[in-house]
Amino acid sequence: QQQVKQSPQSLIVQKGGISIINCAYENTAFDYFPWYQQFPGKGPALLIAIRPDVSEKKEGRFTISFNKSAKQFSLHIMDSQPGDSATYFCAADPNYGGATNKLIFGTGTLLAVQP
């Protein structure tokens, strides 16, 4: 299955709160899981990425948690700020042995952080 299922579709969080976005996949060939952030009128920008050999990766206020057995991964945004309001996409990359970088994107989560 070449799909990545993302939830929730939208999320409202108070300033200072924790935003959590979840993704699930079926294809065990996926071996690279990036998260992208997109602001209106802009292209997606890489936020953070993880490989399945680690269970967690943290960069500043952003953390990816990865559960290989459950085939799920999630993005946690700590101390959410109004400037974090954007659409977030999870993605997965099948292992083509380095031949290509064919990301499969989730459907996106529109995050609104209220001041």
Partner 1 sequence: DSGVTQTPKHLITATGQRVTLRCSPRSGDLSVYWYQQSLDQGLQFLIHYYNGEERAKGNILERFSAQQFPDLHSELNLSSLELGDSALYFCASSAWVGNSPLHFGNGTRLTVT
User: Given the rule CB under 8 A, which residues bind partner 1?
Assistant: 31-32, 34, 36, 41-46, 49, 51, 89, 93, 96-108
> Can you point out the beta strands (E) in 8-95?
10-14, 19-25, 30-38, 45-50, 56-59, 62-67, 72-77, 86-94
Nearer to partner 1, 15 or 102 (CB): 102
Q: Minimum distance from CB of 100 to partner 1 (Å)?
A: 4
Nearer to partner 1, 81 or 107 (CB): 107
Q: Minimum distance from CB of 1 to partner 1 (Å)?
A: 15
What are the CA-CA distances from residue 89 to residues 32, 48, 77, 98, 103 (Å)? 14, 11, 13, 23, 11
Sequence-ordered list of residues with C-beta below 8 angstroms from that of 22, at least 6 positions apart, any chain: 6, 7, 8, 72, 73, 74
Nearer to partner 1, 17 or 52 (CB): 52
Q: Minimum distance from CB of 97 to partner 1 (Å)?
A: 8
Nearer to partner 1, 30 or 74 (CB): 30
